[in-house]
């Protein structure tokens, strides 16, 4: 679920941090720049792991801060394909179930990836697994806030760099998820044995 990503970057340390040890100052700046940010095709950066090396610091004309070329490693959230994780149901619509890990919310289980005998309950705004036994069918609900075990099946990265206002009305959507450009999104499934709400399997 977590990997170490290798980066090379020129880091600017502002003048008010000159009093700090240089490695401490650089570490603070790296965490400010990368922590809780998605790097395209890398993943969600969590925290600086270590500084491998740094070059000489230099000051540019007209700039009070100093700049240093740094090679470092960052802890990154990026689960591998087919990895099984446990999160909590955050939101449900007739099209998908959204899952959160607490620090990452853009995990979606499309309707077609739910257990095949599932249906969406409009009144409760939640998905229900119609579990069939010898005694008949039993409704097992996927309530918001409850723990769910899922399997990662796909991921997608999007460059969310601002490009200016959209004037083409055909690009607008009433779906809030469509209007939100997600830098990193995970697609999951629960359509396999042992997947789904933990309460289903823990009795």
**What residue segments make up the domains of the chain, in order of their start?**
2-77, 84-202
Per-residue model confidence as pLDDT tens digits over 152-194: 999 999 998 776 665 454 444 445 455 467 899 999 999 998 9
In this model, does residue 201 exceed pLDDT 90? no
Any long-range contacts for 26-31 (C-beta under 8 Å, 24+ apart)?
Answer: 26/51, 26/54, 26/68, 26/70, 27/51, 30/70, 30/72, 30/74
DSSP 162: -
CATH level 3 topology of 2-77: Dna Ligase; domain 1 (3.30.1490)
Tell me the pLDDT of the chain averaged across its residues: 89
Containing 196, the helix (H) or strand (E) segment is strand 196-197
* pTM attached to this predicted model: 0.84
- Look up the CATH superfamily of 84-202: Nucleic acid-binding proteins (2.40.50.140)
Q: Is the pLDDT of residue 124 over 70?
A: yes
């Amino acid at each position: 679920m977590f990997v170490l990503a290798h980066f090379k970057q020129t880091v600017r340390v502002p003048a008010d941090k000159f009093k700090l040890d240089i490695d401490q100052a650089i570490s603070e700046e790296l965490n400010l720049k990368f922590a809780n940010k998605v790097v395209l095709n890398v993943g969600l950066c969590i925290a600086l792991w270590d500084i491998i090396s740094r070059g000489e610091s230099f000051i540019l004309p007209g700039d009070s801060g100093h700049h240093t070329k740094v090679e470092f490693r960052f802890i990154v959230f990026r689960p591998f394909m087919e990895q099984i994780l446990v999160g909590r149901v955050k939101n449900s619509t007739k099209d998908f179930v959204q899952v959160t890990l607490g620090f990452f919310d853009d995990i979606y289980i499309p309707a077609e990836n739910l257990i095949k005998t599932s249906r969406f309950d409009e009144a409760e705004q939640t998905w229900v697994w119609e579990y069939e036994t010898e005694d008949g069918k039993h409704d097992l609900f996927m309530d918001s806030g409850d723990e769910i075990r899922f399997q990662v099946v796909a991921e997608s990265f999007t460059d969310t760099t601002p490009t200016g206002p959209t004037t083409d009305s055909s690009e607008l959507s009433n779906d809030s998820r469509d209007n939100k450009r997600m830098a990193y999104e995970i697609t999951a499934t629960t359509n396999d044995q042992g997947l789904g709400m933990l309460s289903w399997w823990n009795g």
